[in-house]
DNA sequence: CTGTTAGCGCCTTCAT
DNA sequence: ATGAAGGCGCTAACAG
């Protein structure tokens, strides 16, 4: 763990000269440069970024805070973030909140202590605490995937409302009129925005919007499972189900299978989020695929631009379109039920 | 971004006293403590971990370097790592090498600059460079998932040889005698260890081991696709295929489907690595599931133990068993080919 | 082109 | 129980 001083001594120059050579800042004669570089090689010197940070106030590190890295949607975002960060020389820390606002603020505090330059956040709820705190620490944030109410922070997300609208239009086009929606908690924008898109599609088609067909729970396998079981139990017999994320869809699938319902013969199923192509040999579910990698990449680029001094420019909200991919889980309404 | 000095001024004490209150080290009268805590709250003071690090030489941050966080096997490891690290107050940085030894060493250098306390590494190959470098920087490493030749580093992995043996035994039990194996590059231990287990199972059963039935390529969907196409082309007509990781299996699946082969009617398929239960409604492939989360957790605990001064204790190699899960992709040999 | 001085924010050490 | 001095490794600012 050689220091700059040792390198300087060995090369017979001052620490400042070594610094200049290492950072390619300022002048250095070819001869000096060579001597310094030799000393660096001999000692295996690696500059101490911590000391550097203390002076420069920049850690060249950002943090990615998601609900669960294990969800392939977030994994793919993470990959986009890491790739974009790496090309700019930034390191990435990551944290999982499990949709808990308590975990969220704790992590953000811990990360702030470590002097991260910026945060990419998938908010766990609509608490203002994380934003207030980050603002007080002058740490820029870019929100990914979700909207934040009444805050002037940058956002990069997919168009939930339009995506939901498209999916439901697709179902309506197939003749469905009783379409249930299963979604996440009410304090998450993706949860509610998708219901809004769903309702707009119904209204436009002159179909009734009934609260019994709208279920809210957590964005999880268990949530989807519970919601579908409840829907099946209440006797409303929808001919199609719209799951607002991938975990919900898998829970729905399980519940439907257990109930002996065939898809799409007995009921159609559509969902937000696709799985990476690598992961299914023969994709079955009709989805609204979100550009997860792009979301991560764009958010990172926006954040890094802020760090480069783009703080002055006004709030940016980047909304990317999703893509409807029609597969076999959505079909015409069962003839006996039209 | 208040500093300890500002807090001290506001509380009418010295910086040292604030430090003691913040760190619960040394004495402080209740009255002083209260004053300091009030000042901290008023100023929104957050201790600067960077300055702290500079003195203490400990960043309380570790790094996880994998080939691709997008592979659910590594994603799950990452989650295990993060959970274990968080409970101990450690932050985690992550990096993707894409199995490139060049990327690997570059990342490790970057992370070392940031004074990470330790590294969890899935080696991209069998280069000694990363280990030599980390040793020179006195940064402990724990290798995850793979073996490292001739290095005395800690390892936490699944038993590849035994797992492969089990999978192939299963196939042999179903009557298969011509079993092909498709695997990754030869410089990755999981790649070769699994072939060793495969061969042992064959030999024990008195079956021939033929090189034509062993294909090496990259641990990727494309690799699996290429290898199976080649196997189909060479006319050896195996009745079963053993894929040594999940990506290879999906590539194999694609190639088999395109060739019009039914599974398991025409050919059986088994693989290492399961997908998270969340994401397949009705799992189809017979797998040797690795305890990925546990791998990540155990490796992190071992690393943190090293950081706590366990450097003296001798090298540890933790090998966890995998679990054979028989599903529908493996069946008896087609009757016309026994 | 190169060196000197000073200080980033904190904590170890020693003093009171 | 509290404070003062000094330094971790580096680099901005200013000489020369």
**Omega prior to B238 cis, within 30 of 0:** no
d(CA B18, CA B9): 10
Residue A205: inside a domain: yes
Write down the pLDDT at residue A338: 53
Q: Tokens in use for A32?
A: 């000096």
CB–CB contact B92 A94 (8 Å): yes
Residue B52: inside a domain: no
Class of residue A53 by CB neighbours under 10 A (exposed 0-12, middle 13-18, buried 19+): buried
Determine whether the distance from the CB of B160 to the nearest atom of strand C is below 7 Å.
Answer: no
* pLDDT tens digit sequence for B48-106: 888 888 888 888 999 999 999 999 999 999 999 999 999 999 999 999 999 999 999 99
Residues B166 and B262 in one domain: yes
Residues A269 and A192 in one domain: yes
d(CA B94, CA A93): 6
Query: Smallest CA–C1' separation from B29: which nucleotide?
Result: D1
Residue B117: inside a domain: yes
Strands B286-289 and B141-144: unpaired
Count of Cβ atoms closer than 10 Å to residue A151 Cβ: 17
Tell me, in Å, how far CA of A133 is from C1' of D9? 30
The total number of structural domains that make up chain A: 3
* Residue range(s) defining the domain that contains residue A148: 57-159+292-321
Residues B300 and B328 in one domain: no
Nearest Cβ partner of A257 from B47, B76, B282?
A: B282
Contact A113, A95 (CB under 8 A): no
Residue A52: inside a domain: no
For residue A97, give the chain B residue with the closest CA.
B83
Tell me, in Å, how far CA of A42 is from C1' of C3? 24
Tell me, in Å, how far CA of B250 is from C1' of C15? 70
**How is B181-250 classified by DSSP, letter by letter?**
EEE--TTSHHHHHHHHHHHHHHHHTT----GGGEEE--SSHHHHHHHHHHHHHTT---SEEEESSHHHHH
Residues B203 and B279 in one domain: yes
**Omega prior to B264 cis, within 30 of 0:** yes
Residue A137: list chain B partners with CB under 8 A.
1, 44, 46
Nearest Cβ partner of B49 from A47, A75, A114?
A: A114
Residues B165 and B148 in one domain: no
Closest-CA distance, A165 to chain B, in angstroms, reads: 25
Tell me, in Å, how far CA of B137 is from C1' of C8? 24
Closest-CA distance, B206 to chain A, in angstroms, reads: 34
Nearest Cβ partner of A91 from B78, B93, B254?
A: B93
CA B219 to chain CA centroid, Å, is 14
Total number of residues shown for chain A: 338
Residues B190 and B328 in one domain: yes
Determine whether the distance from the CB of B27 to the nearest atom of strand D is below 7 Å.
Answer: yes
Position B279 pLDDT exceeds 80: no
Tokens 């600067």 found at: B48
Residues A209 and A333 in one domain: yes
* pLDDT tens digit sequence for B284-302: 999 999 999 999 999 999 9
Residues A246 and A302 in one domain: no
Residue B279: list chain A partners with CB under 8 A.
72, 246, 250, 275, 279
Write down the pLDDT at residue A145: 97
Tokens 């500059």 found at: A47
C-alpha torsion sign, points A28, A31, A32, A38? positive
- Beta strands in chain A, from DSSP E residues, in sequence order: 61-66, 91-96, 118-121, 141-144, 154-158, 179-183, 214-216, 240-243, 268-272, 286-289, 317-320, 323-325
Residue B80: inside a domain: yes
CB–CB contact A279 B109 (8 Å): no
The protein residue nearest nucleotide D2, judged by CA to C1', is B17
Alpha carbon of B218 to those of A175, B22, B227: distances in Å?
46, 51, 10
Residues B133 and B187 in one domain: no
Write down the pLDDT at residue A207: 97
Contact A49, A114 (CB under 8 A): no
Nearest Cβ partner of A50 from B47, B94, B115?
A: B115
Write down the pLDDT at residue A236: 85
Write down the pLDDT at residue B213: 94
d(CA A121, CA A112): 13
Confidence at B338, pLDDT banded by 50, 70, 90: low
Write down the pLDDT at residue B228: 96
β-bridge partners, A94? A64
Determine whether the distance from the CB of A47 to the nearest atom of strand D is below 7 Å.
Answer: yes
Residues A136 and A281 in one domain: no
Residues A128 and A247 in one domain: no
Residue A61: list chain B partners with CB under 8 A.
93, 114
Write down the pLDDT at residue B48: 87
Write down the pLDDT at residue A277: 77
The reply to whether A275 touches chain B by the CB within 8 Å rule is yes
Q: Tokens in use for A295?
A: 């979301």
Residue B241: inside a domain: yes
Residue B18: inside a domain: yes
Write down the pLDDT at residue B31: 87
Write down the pLDDT at residue B310: 63
Nearest residue to B88 (alpha-carbon basis) of B290, B306, B295: B306
Segments of chain A scoring below 70 in pLDDT: 150, 310-312, 337-338
d(CA B126, CA B316): 19
Please give the angle made by the CA atoms of B138, B141 and B145, to the nearest 5 degrees: 165
d(CA B253, CA B262): 10
Residue B268: inside a domain: yes
Average pLDDT over chain B, rounded to an integer: 92
CA A112 to chain CA centroid, Å, is 20
pTM: 0.93
* pLDDT tens digit sequence for B214-242: 999 999 999 999 999 999 998 889 999 99
Count of Cβ atoms closer than 10 Å to residue B164 Cβ: 28
**HSE toward the beta carbon, residue B54, CA cutoff 13 A:** 14
CATH classification of the domain holding B34: 1.10.260.40
Contact A117, A85 (CB under 8 A): no
State chain A's maximal CA–CA distance in angstroms: 91
CATH classification of the domain holding A133: 3.40.50.2300
The reply to whether B3 touches chain A by the CB within 8 Å rule is no
Write down the pLDDT at residue A321: 97
CA A72 to chain CA centroid, Å, is 10
**How is A38-89 classified by DSSP, letter by letter?**
HHHHHHT----HHHHHHHH----EEEEEES-TTSHHHHHHHHHHHHHHHHTT
Residues B239 and B303 in one domain: no
Residue B53: list chain A partners with CB under 8 A.
50
């Amino acid at each position: 763990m050689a220091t700059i001083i040792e390198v300087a001594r060995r090369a017979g120059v001052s620490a400042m000269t070594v610094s200049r050579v290492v950072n390619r800042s300022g002048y250095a004669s070819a001869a000096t440069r060579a001597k310094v570089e030799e000393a660096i090689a001999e000692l295996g010197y690696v500059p101490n970024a911590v000391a550097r940070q203390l002076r420069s106030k920049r850690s060249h590190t950002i943090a990615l805070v998601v609900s669960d890295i294990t969800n392939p949607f977030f994994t793919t975002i993470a990959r986009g973030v890491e790739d974009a960060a790496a090309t700019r020389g930034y390191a990435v820390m990551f944290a999982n909140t499990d949709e808990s606002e308590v975990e969220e603020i704790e992590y953000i505090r811990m990360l702030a202590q470590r002097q991260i330059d910026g945060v990419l956040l998938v908010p766990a709820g609509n608490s203002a605490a994380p934003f207030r705190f980050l603002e007080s620490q002058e740490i820029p944030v870019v929100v990914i995937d979700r909207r934040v109410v009444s805050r002037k922070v940058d956002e990069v997300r997919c168009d939930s409302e339009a995506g939901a609208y498209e999916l439901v239009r697709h179902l309506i086009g197939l003749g469905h009129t009783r379409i249930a929606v299963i979604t996440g908690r009410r304090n998450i924008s993706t949860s509610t925005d998708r219901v809004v898109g769903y309702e707009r599609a119904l209204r436009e088609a002159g179909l009734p919007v009934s609260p019994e067909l709208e279920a809210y729970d957590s964005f999880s396998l268990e949530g989807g499972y519970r919601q579908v079981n409840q829907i099946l139990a209440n006797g409303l017999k929808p001919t199609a189900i719209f799951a607002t994320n991938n975990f919900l869809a898998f829970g729905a699938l399980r519940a439907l299978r257990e109930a002996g319902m065939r898809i799409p013969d007995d009921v159609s199923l559509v969902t937000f989020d696709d799985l990476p192509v690598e992961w299914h040999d023969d994709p079955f579910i009709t989805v609204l695929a979100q550009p997860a990698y792009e979301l991560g990449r764009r958010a990172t680029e926006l954040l890094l631009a802020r760090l480069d001094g783009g703080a002055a420019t006004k709030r940016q909200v980047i909304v990317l379109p999703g893509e409807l991919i029609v597969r076999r889980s959505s079909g015409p309404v069962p003839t006996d039920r039209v």
